[in-house]
Structure formats: C-alpha cells, structure tokens
Amino acid sequence: MTLVIAHRGASGYRPEHSRSAYELAIDLGADAIEPDLVPTKDGVLVLRHENEISGTTDVADRPEFAARRTTKVVDGKRLSGWFTEDFTWDELTALRTRERLPALRPRSAEHDGEDPVLRLEDLLAILDAAPRPVALVAEVKHATYFDSIGLPMGELVDGVIGGAGWRGDERLTVECFEKGVLRDIGSRGTGGRLVYLQEARGSAADEVASHGRAAPTYADERTDGALARLAEEFDGISVDLKTLMAGTDPVALDDPRPVRSDVVERAQAVGLAVFTWTLRPENRFLPAPLRRGGDVAAHGDWERWFTSVVRTGVDGVFADHTDLAVRARSLVEERGAGVGGPA
C-alpha cells in the first residue's frame, strides 16, 4: 500500500508545521507526518521548512527582533531574513505561525497567528497521543551548514529521539538531501529507516563541500550502479514528481493500466523504497493539460494526477492535502490498478 505522508502536516488547509496542521492531518487519515528540522542557537530542533523564518512566522512584525535581520549564505544560496540559529528556543516561543502561500491558500491564512512554533519533541508527543499509529518522516535540513557553525544535526536528532523514547521505533524515518548526516544517524543507533532525498538536478551540499565541481549530481546517483550502492547503506530514496513522472504524457493519465516509472522499477529492484513529493491540487502545481480555468489557486484535475502517481507503485507520497491523497489511493485500490510496493 502506498503511504500517504502529510507534508508539513495538512499544509493545504492550515499554516505548515503548526499544531493544527499536524492534528488535522491525523484526523484526515495520514499514515505519517513530515516535519522539517532546523536548530536554534541553543540546539533545540524546531519545526520549520527552512531556518529563514520570515515567510512562515510573524518574526518580521516583532520590533524586539528587528535587529536580528541579516544576510547569510546557506548551501551556496544568499538569503536575507531571520534565522533560527540566531534565536534561543525561549525567544522563538514568542512567535506565531503564518501561511507561506497566502495568495494561493487564503483559507489557511485565516489561521495566521493562532499557533506557536513547535519543537520536534512536541510533534512526537502529538503522535504518541494519536488515536491510531501515525509514523514520523523527519527531514533534516542543511546538515553540512549547521555542522559548520557548531550545530551537529545528527547528534541533535539522536538526542531528541532517544529522550522521547523513540529510539528504534518502527514508526521512525529520517530523510535528508545529504548522505553524511544519514550515515551519522545510522551509526548512532537511532534506528528507523534512512531515506536519501534527491533533487532533479544539482548536487548534495555535503558532496559539494567535499568534492567541489567534481561532486556527483543527484542524477548520477540514480544510475543502476549508484542505486545498488545506495541500497547498501539506506532504506529508500525520495524523488520529486518531475523525476518520478519523466516521460509520462499527462493527456494519457486516465489509462487504466499502471503508470510505469523507470526510477521506481530500478530502485525497488535493488531493495530501495521509493517516495515522491509533493502532491498539490492547485492549478499552479499541476501539469498544463490537467489545469482547469485560469485561476492558479483553483483545483484542477488533481484526481487524475494523484491517481497516476499512486499507480507508479511508489511506496509513499507526500501531499499537502492529506484527504485528497487518501482519496486517490482508495480510487486506485477500488479500480484494481494498484501496484504499490511494500508499505
């Protein structure tokens, strides 16, 4: 069965990484919750998509923090704003979450200011209190960068997981766009599955730090030989939809046969689970043939797109709208076209 993983919670309906987004995702049937992990100055892992937080909190409106605005280079990208590593956890507790895409998701933006920023241990407590088992798929962000400023992500993740009683828990998966921190976490006996995230293009930050221009690209790491080597260390890979659906004609997505994905077949053949991101129903995020009307915020033919992705046999899908992904999985199962790998 294809797992439905709530991307930053039910982030299509509530501000991402908020308590209400996580709890709603559980109510809507998510098999797992995906938080992003970034640290504070004092080593607390907080749940934000990026360490620059002006787009997802009210920090820019807080006069007491105006002087914290700065410019940094993170993984080769120059960014200006407010960064978690410049705040203590106690300071961040004053902030409130906001919708990252208010023009696209105004109903979610109506909940701006309702929820505080959370820590990893807060989400683990939510999952432990859930009325049914719900897994965690935690993404470690910018590990090489944080290591360089004295915030070792592998150590921090292991500390929280161990302290919360989650060490070795079968509900645990840790993922990252860098292999080094995954190896570190694995060596610490943290447990759970380790999943290597891959962009369509570019190279991993840790590879660039080690090899410069000679760093292998993510595409290099999707050859048959590279996938076999990854399977010796990790439990899965996670690729973007463009990579997953390469060569697929959206016009023909209502074909009742399974949609074949080269990367799924090749990765699963060497024992890797395959995940993909991110299912979103708005026209802005759909292939052009599946858009309906001229409003980028309106929902297009998401059902055709979501079901076609599930029919590739992918092991898990990340989705902003948990209920729609659950519905798409049910439709595939009802039609008898599912070829999903191991859950």
> CA of 58: how far to CAs of 12, 62, 286, 336, in Å?
19, 7, 30, 47
What is the DSSP code (8-state) at residue 259? P
pLDDT bin (cut points 50, 70, 90) of residue 338 is very low
pLDDT bin (cut points 50, 70, 90) of residue 336 is confident
pLDDT score recorded for residue 254: 63
Domains of the chain, residue spans: 3-50+116-335
Residues with Cβ within 8 Å of 247's Cβ and at least 6 positions away in sequence, in order, are 262
Per-residue pLDDT tens over the stretch 152-204: 999 999 999 999 999 999 999 999 999 999 999 999 999 999 999 999 999 99
pLDDT score recorded for residue 337: 45
Per-residue pLDDT tens over the stretch 13-52: 999 999 999 999 999 999 999 999 999 999 999 999 999 9
Answer yes or no: are the C-beta atoms of 278 and 241 closer than 8 Å.
yes
pLDDT score recorded for residue 340: 40
Average pLDDT over residues 70-81: 97
pLDDT score recorded for residue 250: 67
pLDDT score recorded for residue 136: 98
Reported as type and span, the H/E element at residue 120 is helix 120-128
pTM over 0.75: yes
Q: What's the token pair of residue 89?
A: 């956890």
pLDDT bin (cut points 50, 70, 90) of residue 240 is very high
Q: What are the CB-based long-range contacts (under 8 Å, 24+) for 86-92? A: 86/41, 87/40, 87/41, 88/40, 88/41, 88/42, 88/44, 89/40, 89/42, 89/44, 89/46, 89/119, 91/65, 92/40, 92/46, 92/117
- CATH T-level fold of 3-50+116-335: TIM Barrel (3.20.20)
Average pLDDT over residues 260-269: 94
Share of the chain above pLDDT 70, in %: 95
pLDDT exceeds 60 at position 256: no
